[in-house]
Amino acid sequence: MKVSHQMLNIAKFICFCFLTTVIHFANAQSNFDSMSGSHPSFSEILSFRVDSVLNLMTINEKIGQLVQYSGGWDATGPSSSENHQYKLSKLKKGEVGSMLNVTSVAAIRETQQIVMENSRLKIPLIFAYDVIHGYKTIFPIPLGESASWDLEIIQKSASIAAKESAASGLQWTFAPMLDVSRDARWGRIMEGAGEDPYLTSKIGVARIKGFQGGNLNDKFTVAACAKHFAGYGFGEAGRDYNTVNIGDYELHNTVLPPFKAAAKSGVATFMNAFNDVDGIPATGHRELQHDILKGKWNWDGFIVSDWGSIGEMIAHGFAEDKKQAAEIAMNSGSDMDMESYAYEGHLAELLTENKITESQLNDAVKRILKLKFELGLFDDPYKYCDETRERENVYTKEHLKIARDVARKSIVLLKNENKTLPLSKSIEKIAVIGPLGDDKDVPLGNWRGKGVYNSAVSLLEGIKNKVDKNVQVSFAKGIELMSETVEPGKNQFLYPIKFNTKDKTAITEAVELAKKSDVVLLSVGENAYQTGEGRSQVNIGFAGLQNELIDAVTKANENVVVVLMNGRPMDLSEINKKVSTILECWHLGSQAGNAISDVIFGDYNPSGKLPVSFPYDVGQEPLYYNQKNTGRPYSMDHVTFSSYRDAPKEALFPFGFGLSYTNFKYSDLKLSRSEISKDGSLIAKIRVTNTGDKVGEEVVQLYIRDLVGSLVRPIRELKGFEKIKLKPQESRTVSFEITPETLQFYTQNKKWEVEPGTFQIWIGGDSKASTTAKFSVQ
């Protein structure tokens, strides 16, 4: 019988793990004997296995486990790159713990083989990739998907992303992003769940459950990563990587809750942030990483730096050189160095100088080894390398069907004054107009994993797929949005955004088509690469010549449905004056056009709600619903109040807002008690009735205000929601339990507690809900 070299190596490695584990168990027998005859738990066995490997490692091998390199090359092929050869030599020595950007089963197997066939201890690599909203089957961008407020479907989309990733050889994704984001100028707002810490927490946990499943040893799950720890979404002026200046109370009450929820849910890893928090770079922030995350929260995963962020502490002016940066990061609790070369270059020297301790090093290594054991990589380093599994589980019909469902649930109907929507399928002439109308790439959005260029269903295709052949569907682009097209496979971080600001010649054709059509679907918004990392903007309106096209088309036809495709809240104040119907469609992914058509023709009644506030003007940013009152909240009759003289203070479309093709009535709000103790609870019930003539889904939202506190409290805070489906004229009573956890906050005493006093609640369909009641805490 012929045994392959690969199989022989696997067998050798399994024997190695078995023998070292047996030796460690023998040495620890006295510990088991003291357990009154009980069997060791899974966590105890895991700990012994980790220690058995750790005890065999040299200092350089330990440091190597804290090193993550970016790959993406032919690992075994020739290369003239000095950096390539350097990384190759480190892999062979077993002095690399993880690789990112190595994708496909073949490439991952090749890279894993380098370690398994050459290194002394044969500790397997863990392979990571940015799987943000799908691997090859692309779902709506996270901000758009959050508009579904549907935790079950969000978890499902993450599980499919995990399945495709794992089938392609990966074990780790850098998602979900849990940064609360209040500034529409920040390009990376597209990657999170919006402006509210409660909603972000719930959605973050749903995504973690989707990625990790019930067991990381499952071949179709991947380790998740809660990022960016912490404060990244609060960058000054909405500028990426910028400084963050927030107080301790804002940090604990707004920024940290989603991360605490992630830690509690068992997320495998955290990623620290690029920014500083009040002068201390997050990568070197000991209080955040060591004291809070690993200390108070007792979280046992590992922290990876963001790309090069350890070395970037030099640019911050917080470290003199990479040696000092490595010292600060290690002493602060940052475990793995992504592409900074600081740990591999200086930790050994810092150990001999007693500037870091071996116990610190061991703790970081144990955390990383623990995840590798949990993923099953020690039992089979090639566990995820199965080409058949890759072929059968990536970009399947089933996955595309679910992507379509997620996409349509993410659409938000912002305006429908003339009841233009839903359209009748017997309409005679439909015009699809706009630079995004036939675009098959923009709907994929930024951070699109392995989504194939130009693979999305366009709006035009979706409309044609929906209507009969006797319906005339015509298209006119009107303008080119960009002056240069995106080249397939071009590095998104190097792609320059260049808008067309001169060529208006095709607007005339669009106007003529609008004039002779029954309805115009005007598709405008943002290019896929206007949002995402490094894509902050001071202008959140319509770039290029879109405003000229909008003006011309709306003058030519009053029956215009604006179909927005975008990755951030946009300034819609002007277009809102010109049209009666606006559909917020985000960047919806692979099935965008079909999902939009489902909503446009009423095959799906829109149920999305905004996870972010849409402003009247960019000058309002940062804008969010859960603001605090000032001593002079507002007055239209006097100048000396907190307001603007040239624009409203509130949002054009507020947080939680979204219309339906039916209507919902809220009535009979009742509290089970009007007074509770600090550790007591009560039930709030409300009757919700579908008063329209269509089946519809409604997101019932609970908001609370602590009227007087030791700190100034927000005017409203989301504290619960439930998505329900009602038939025409059907009613349902929705209940919310209000517990101490609902009411507590990080107080002036610097601890989480419930303060006595009066509380007001509101329940309704958005953050402007008017159905209200009060109760007191004694």
Task: Point out the residues that are catalytic.
Answer: 306
For the chain, what is the radius of gyration of the CA atoms?
27
How crowded is residue 701: how many other Cβ atoms within 10 Å of its Cβ?
A: 25
Q: Taking Cα atoms as reference points, which of 172, 301, 161, 171 lies closest to residue 229? A: 301
3-state secondary structure string, 560-621? EEEEEECCCCCCCHHHHHHCCEEEECCCCCCCHHHHHHHHHCCCCCCCCCCCCCECCCHHHC
DSSP string, 479-512: S-SBSSPPPTT--GGG----B--S--TTHHHHHH
Number of residues in the chain: 778
- CB-CB contact of 733 with 686 (8 Å): yes
**Cα–Cα distance, 322 to 73 (Å, whole number):** 26
Residue 752, strand partner residues: 746
Amino acid at 171: Q
Buried b (16+ CB within 10 A) or exposed e, 213-235: beebeebbbbbbbbbbbbbbbbb
**Cα–Cα distance, 326 to 4 (Å, whole number):** 42
* Contacts of residue 353, Cβ cutoff 8 Å, sequence gap at least 6: none
- CB-CB contact of 190 with 532 (8 Å): yes
Tokens of 218: 């499952």
* Contacts of residue 452, Cβ cutoff 8 Å, sequence gap at least 6: 136
Helix (H, G, I), strand (E, B) or coil at 76: coil
Helix (H, G, I), strand (E, B) or coil at 340: coil
- CB-CB contact of 67 with 337 (8 Å): yes
Q: Taking Cα atoms as reference points, which of 54, 56, 59 lies closest to residue 349? A: 59
Angle at the Cα of 598 (from 593 to 603), degrees rounded to 5? 170
Buried b (16+ CB within 10 A) or exposed e, 610-632: bbbbbbbbbebbbbbbbbeeeee
3-state secondary structure string, 30-59? HHHHCCCCCCCCHHHHHHHHHHHHHCCCCH
Q: Taking Cα atoms as reference points, which of 92, 105, 106, 98 lies closest to residue 71? A: 98
Amino acid at 510: A
DSSP string, 537-561: -S--S--TTHHHHHHHHHHH-S-EE
The alpha carbon dihedral of 280, 286, 287, 293 has a sign of positive
